[in-house]
Amino acid sequence: NKRLVTKGTLGTALDPLRTIQNCKTIPLEKMKLAIFAALVSAAAAFTAPQAVKQSTALNAEAGRREFFGTAAAAAIGAFGVAAPASAVVDYEALAYLGGSNVVDLNNANVRVYLKMPGMYPTVAGKIVSNGPYASVADVYKIKGLTEAEKGVLKKYESRFTTFSPSPDYVIDRINNGLYR
């Protein structure tokens, strides 16, 4: 009561030349059991789900219990929801980050100073690395600033301003991730 089944799934042009040694025997009972299991699982996939029975009890205890259960779930849901984030969409000093002639020393990126000959990269790097500054005059107190670099700063002093440092822009002062 045994049946011969070949190992390969797709035949080749040399199939007639195969010998009996390349064959494997599978008991017929196991084959029948596998086919039966496949048919039962396929049939079960297409059966309709059984209807759920609902109780229509009219007693006050069940109604009260259901009401408080629903109210408790609603209260947890109402207080568990996170409040919307209120992000600053328009930074009031955005123009001073490189969009105008005046530059904010505390928040502007190092590349803004490319527009000012002599500033980039040395003096600009020292400015963004040593902030924040309370006033424009504080920029002259940078340690290691040479007289020539102070002269370049003096040349552009009228184009500088200081606003309070904003965490959104301070983090990108040295490297904003823009590369050529």
> What are the domain boundaries of the chain?
94-170
Among 8-22, 42-56, 89-103, 130-144, the minimum mean pLDDT is found in: 8-22
Closest of 132, 123, 179, 173 to residue 153, by C-alpha? 123
More confident residue, 106 or 28: 106
User: What CATH class is the domain 94-170?
Assistant: mainly alpha
**Secondary structure (3-state) at 126:** helix
What gap in Å lies between CA 63 and CA 119, rounded to an integer? 77
Residues with Cβ < 8 Å from 143, sequence gap 6 or more? 130
More confident residue, 50 or 140: 140
